[in-house]
Amino acid sequence: MVSGGCRCGAVRYEAEGDFAHHALCHCRDCQMAHGAPMVGWIAFKADQVRFSGAEPVRYTAPSGSTRSFCGTCGTPLAFVNEETLPGIVDLPSVTLDDPDALAPQAQIQVAERRAWMADLATLPAFARYPGE
């Protein structure tokens, strides 16, 4: 079982059993929804996922996909697209209580990956903010 939730703790979730996949998505829709160049998604069958606490707010895009997020702090919490992945709930893997426990298995939608991501490993790296 894995558990996780939003930043403020208002919404929590648990998922039991084996996950279907864990991938880094580079699609433009995920970039815009998260304000990030990619999003890690860990997918479970819908009947394996339980939410508790506050009811997540939902947004359904014209494409038919539904994204859920905390109405208090705005943390993205779930993605569902019954057309492309019926019966699957994708959870942002960084919202897991232990986000390092399960490593991604693949990168998807790389056709929309930001060009500058190719050189990411060559950038200077700092343990905290530069100068600390």
The pTM of the full predicted model, rounded to 2 decimals, is 0.92
CA distance 42 to 88: 10
Report the CATH number that the domain containing residue 14 is assigned in CATH.
2.170.150.70
CA angle, 106 then 109 then 112, to 5°: 135
Answer whether residue 76 is part of any domain.
yes
pLDDT tens figures, 44-70: 999 999 999 999 999 998 888 999 999
- The tally of domains found in the chain comes to 1
Token pair 């508790």 is found at 52
13 domain residue, yes or no: yes
Pairing of strands 39-45, 57-60: unpaired
Asked whether residue 125 is domain-assigned, the answer is no
How many CB atoms sit inside 10 A of residue 6's CB? 22
Domain coverage including residue 60: 2-115
Within-domain flag for 66:
yes
Looking at the domain assignment, is residue 121 inside a domain?
Answer: no
